[in-house]
Amino acid sequence: MLLQIKDLHAGINGKEILRGVNLEVNAGEVHAIMGPNGTGKSTLASVIAGRELFDVTQGDVVFKGQSILEMPVEQRAREGIFLGFQYPVEIPGVSITNFMRTALNEIRKYRGLEPLSGAAFLARMEEKKKLVEIQTKLTNRSVNEGFSGGEKKKNEIFQMAMIEPTLSILDETDSGLDIDALRIVANGVNALRSADNAIVVITHYQRLLEYIVPDIVHVLYEGRIVKTGGKELALELEEKGYEWIKKEMEGR
Amino acid sequence: MTNAPLNDVSLFIRWFDEHLKTIGRNDVPRWRELRKQAIKTLETTGLPKPTDERWRNTDIAKQLSLPYEQHFEDFQKDLDVEKIFACEVPDLDTFLITMVNGWYAYRNSALRILPSGTIIGSLSRALRDAPELVEAHLGHYAKMEGNPFAALNTAFASDGIFIYVPDNTVVSKPIQMVNVVDHPENLFMQTRNLVIVGRNSHLELVHCDDSHNHTAGFTNSLTEVYIGENAGVDYYKMQNVNDHSTVLHSAWFNLQREARLNSYAISLNGGLIRNESFVTLNGQGADANIYGLYLMDKKQQTDNLVFVDHAAPNCTSSEMFKGILDDYAHGVFNGHILVRPDSQQTIAYQSNRNILLTDKARVNTQPFLEIYADDVKCSHGATVGQLDSEAMFYLRSRGIGEENARMLLMYAFAAEVVGKIKIEILRDRIDDLVKKRLRGELSICDQCVLHCSKPDQPVVFEIDMSKI
């Protein structure tokens, strides 16, 4: 098992947001986590990635057999966890080239590998750019600075392709995308699917799941996973709306 | 020679009377007159106090209270300049001129005259061999009133660098002026530089302060730069001195019609560094960009004072100063823009941005806009903040460790200033020094010497007076 989340409770400033999440993800699987706004989807992504803003009060997150709760964010990334940001940060003055090269070399060092040569690195940049149809020269551009919404999301998937993580958590990757950009981003993600890695897609809408077809769909509601099913669950949600979940939960 | 603290003005007055013969041995009449005025100014105003508006945030009392050796003539015998320097960047070809402990290193050499007619040499030599040029500019731009250190310099300095670029001349390579401090005792040094750039000419000037040991040097230097009509000057001031050193430098730029100035003050290390830039836009269409970068830690202090005087219409000025302060470091920025009543259609910008890495580091930033014309565009902005925590998380989430993530962000912050440097090799070199500094790998022995050269064979002195 790649990822196991056990009875996870977490919050911010004393306010509990996750109230006992249980989740298991195996290599080769694509999971979708859906749910209404404000139920803790992004918090779950942040807690797995290691954002220090949130306090974990109970439970555990186990990745490749070891608890990662004590690991700083960079170590989790080096172990193979990738977070695709809902709102990628603009960093003026830091070039994408420099950023990715530093990241790749630190990850490689952690794994006992030699740094990539300049030529090998640039070849890899060119190859991965094609995957998400980035035509512009990235070399001299600052990270996300002046990017459109679509470019920012493409850039997230580009980074994912560069880093080749074992577990990718894509937080609302579809938000703010027009249909063409959505297709490009989804194609990129699909090309990166393999038997050795897993992808967790967090989304509010079913739309994205037409392009990235999940194996398993979960519904997160008020800090807990309240429903799990196959890809048809997403369609059912689309049809009945989140009101259906709310009513069902209140009826219990 | 004297050896005493510097905080007693009456001592300076006594030294002046005792040593004027030595100090002024090469004086032109104008300087002799200025020296007397300077002493009078000092007598009435005294040395800076924390109650003086321009010294409110920088207390220099401690630095003045140490005893320093002070020499009124060159005290060094058999100087081996080549031994002091080692080549670091052979790609950048410069004309190198060196001061050692405040004195022109090749003291007996004549002024050098380049094929273009450009003259490079010591000010003391120029006083003898080009007195008309010196008379026409010395003390015309620096104001002693309200600037005690300018008065002190005018009263006591007797050596420094002299550069003259005739009209219609582009100096082929940058001129690099270096003052190296390397003396077993604390030294008080006052140097005076004069740079004259004629009409339609261009000069790139790199001005470095270095120290090679750990004694407490105190430098009070003053540079006057005259930029003729439609001429351009790129001026790079770089400071990398030890933690006990004090460097006060004031640069007085006077720009004529359509003249251009790019000035960079890069402070990498030093106990107390104060850079004063006085820029007078004296003719229509003059344009000045004044940049600064300071990277300070421990108990270091840096103080930048910029005064831009829009004395003519249709001029533009832009200031960008950025600083990163670690540990207990202290940064000061005073930016004064004066737009005179007739200076319509002025455009003036000012920005000062700071990053504090600890809660003990601090910054005082103070803009002062004094505008008497009505058709002007002026803006200013100042920020003091920490490294962006969102950006930190983003970088770390890609596997970059905390140290490197901080480094990337600090470097990106500094790069905005470094990126403005026009000479590519110099930009790369300064870029490298900044990276080293941020990583904590810069030593005071990292010279900003960019090229070593032996002075050419002395040339017989000859000036074409028609060009003046």
Residue B400 has pLDDT above 70, yes or no: yes
Quick one: pLDDT band at residue B450, thresholds 50, 70, 90? very low
Which of A52, A93, A98 has the CB atom closest to B413's CB atom? A93
Quick one: pLDDT band at residue B90, thresholds 50, 70, 90? very low
Which of A51, A99, A104 has the CB atom closest to B393's CB atom? A51
**Nearest one of B197, B201, B220, B178 to B137, comparing CA atoms:** B197
Contact B224, B197 (CB under 8 A): no
Per-residue pLDDT at B406 = 92
What residue has token string 């110099």? Answer: B426
- Backbone dihedral region for residue B230 (phi beyond 0: left; psi -120 to 50: alpha; all else: beta): left
Which of A50, A82, A91 has the CB atom closest to B391's CB atom? A91
Average pLDDT, chain A: 94
Per residue in B154-178, pLDDT (tens digit) is: 999 999 999 999 999 999 999 988 8
**Nearest one of B94, B128, B98, B99 to B111, comparing CA atoms:** B128
Q: Please work out, in degrees rounded to the nearest 5, the angle formed at the alpha carbon of residue B310 by the alpha carbons of B306 and B312.
A: 155
Structure tokens at A173: 């990757």
Among B320, B322, B387, B397, the strongest candidate for a mutation testing the A interface, having the largest count of A CBs within 10 A, is B397
Residues 6+ apart with CB under 8 A from B166: B116, B117, B118, B198, B201, B464, B467, B468
Per-residue pLDDT at A252 = 66
Residue A29 has pLDDT above 50, yes or no: yes
Mean pLDDT of B118-127: 95
Residue B27 has pLDDT above 70, yes or no: yes
Name the more confident of B467 and A18. A18
- pTM of the shown model: 0.86
Per-residue pLDDT at B437 = 85
Question: Which residue from A minimizes the CA distance to B415?
Answer: A93
CB contact B108 to A (< 8 Å):
no
For the purposes of burial, counting CB atoms within 10 Å of the CB of B339, is it exposed (0-12), middle (13-18) or buried (19 or more)?
Answer: buried
Pairwise CA distance, residues A17 & B279, whole Å: 58
Judged by DSSP in three states, A99 sits in: helix
Pairwise CA distance, residues B346 & B371, whole Å: 10
Per-residue pLDDT at A4 = 98
**Nearest one of B242, B190, B153 to B69, comparing CA atoms:** B190
Instruction: Provide the chain B residues 375-414 that lie in CB contact (below 8 A) with chain A.
Output: 388, 390-391, 393-402, 404-405, 408-409, 411-413
Mean pLDDT of B246-251: 96
CA distances from residue A176 to A173, A179, A184, A242, B41 in whole angstroms, order as listed? 8, 10, 14, 21, 67
Task: Determine the distance in angstroms separating the CA of A52 from the nearest CA of chain B, rounded to an integer.
Answer: 9
Mean pLDDT of B125-144: 96
Structure tokens at A135: 């035509």
Per residue in A213-235, pLDDT (tens digit) is: 999 999 999 999 999 999 999 99
CA distances from residue B377 to B98, B373, B382 in whole angstroms, order as listed? 42, 10, 17
Per-residue pLDDT at B455 = 32
Could you write out the DSSP letters of every residue in B98-164? EEETTEESSTTPPPEE-TTS-EEEEHHHHHHH-HHHHHHHTTSS---TT-HHHHHHHHH----EEEE
Residue B408 has pLDDT above 60, yes or no: yes
Contacts of B416 in chain A (CB under 8 A): 92-93
Residue A30 has pLDDT above 80, yes or no: yes
Contacts of B402 in chain A (CB under 8 A): 72, 74
Quick one: pLDDT band at residue B465, thresholds 50, 70, 90? very low
Per-residue pLDDT at B332 = 97
Residue A2 has pLDDT above 70, yes or no: yes
Residue B210 has pLDDT above 80, yes or no: no
Task: Determine the distance in angstroms separating the CA of A107 from the nearest CA of chain B, rounded to an integer.
Answer: 6
The percentage of chain B sitting over the pLDDT mark of 70, rounded to a whole number, equals 91
Return the domain boundaries, chain A: 3-251
Per-residue pLDDT at B108 = 72
The percentage of chain A sitting over the pLDDT mark of 90, rounded to a whole number, equals 81
Per-residue pLDDT at B85 = 54
Quick one: pLDDT band at residue B20, thresholds 50, 70, 90? very high
Contacts of B400 in chain A (CB under 8 A): 74, 99, 102-103, 106
Per-residue pLDDT at A248 = 85
H helices of B142-274, where? 148-156
Taking CB atoms within 8 Å and a gap of at least 24, the contacts of B50-57 are: B54/B146, B54/B305, B54/B334, B56/B364, B57/B303, B57/B330, B57/B332, B57/B364, B57/B366
A91/B396 touch (CB, cutoff 8 Å), yes or no = no
Taking CB atoms within 8 Å and a gap of at least 24, the contacts of B110-113 are: B110/B458, B110/B459, B110/B460, B110/B461, B111/B162, B111/B459, B111/B461, B112/B455, B112/B456, B112/B458, B112/B459, B113/B459, B113/B461, B113/B462
Task: Name the amino acid, one letter, at B120.
Answer: I
Q: In the sheet that A66-67 helps form, which strands lie side by side, from edge to edge?
A: A15-25, A3-12, A55-63, A66-67
Q: Which helix (H) or strand (E) holds B170?
A: none
Quick one: pLDDT band at residue B119, thresholds 50, 70, 90? very high
Task: Determine the distance in angstroms separating the CA of A204 from the nearest CA of chain B, rounded to an integer.
Answer: 23
Per-residue pLDDT at B443 = 66
Contacts of A74 in chain B (CB under 8 A): 396-397, 399-402, 405
Per-residue pLDDT at B453 = 33
What sign does the dihedral A118-A119-A121-A126 (CA atoms) show? positive
B397/A83 touch (CB, cutoff 8 Å), yes or no = yes
Residue B449 has pLDDT above 90, yes or no: no
User: How many other CB atoms are there within 10 angstroms of residue A96's CB atom?
Assistant: 23
Q: How far is CA B449 from the centre of its chain?
A: 16
A77/B398 touch (CB, cutoff 8 Å), yes or no = yes
Per-residue pLDDT at B133 = 96
Q: What interface predicted TM-score (ipTM) does this complex get?
A: 0.97
Per residue in B38-55, pLDDT (tens digit) is: 999 999 999 998 889 899
The percentage of chain B sitting over the pLDDT mark of 90, rounded to a whole number, equals 73
Pairwise CA distance, residues A104 & B395, whole Å: 12
Return the domain boundaries, chain B: 2-388+443-467
Which of B397, B404, B413 has the CB atom closest to A102's CB atom? B404
Mean pLDDT of B18-38: 95
Per-residue pLDDT at A251 = 74
Per residue in B300-352, pLDDT (tens digit) is: 999 999 999 999 999 999 999 999 999 999 999 999 999 999 999 999 999 99
Could you write out the DSSP letters of every residue in A56-93? EEEEEEEETTEE-TTS-HHHHHHHTEEEE-SSPPPEEE
Residue A107 has pLDDT above 60, yes or no: yes
- Just give the CATH number of A3-251: 3.40.50.300
Per residue in A132-160, pLDDT (tens digit) is: 998 877 667 899 999 999 999 999 999 99
Mean pLDDT of A76-81: 98
Local structure of residue B456 (DSSP, 8 states): P
User: How many other CB atoms are there within 10 angstroms of residue A68's CB atom?
Assistant: 20
Judged by DSSP in three states, A236 sits in: helix
CA distances from residue B309 to B124, B241, B339 in whole angstroms, order as listed? 30, 30, 6
CA distances from residue B390 to A13, A135, A203 in whole angstroms, order as listed? 18, 27, 22
Could you write out the DSSP letters of every residue in B300-340? -EEEEEEEEEE-SSS-EEEEEEEEEE-TT-EEEEEEEEEE-
Per-residue pLDDT at B128 = 94
Average pLDDT, chain B: 89
Per residue in B368-392, pLDDT (tens digit) is: 999 999 999 999 999 999 999 999 9
CB contact B1 to A (< 8 Å):
no
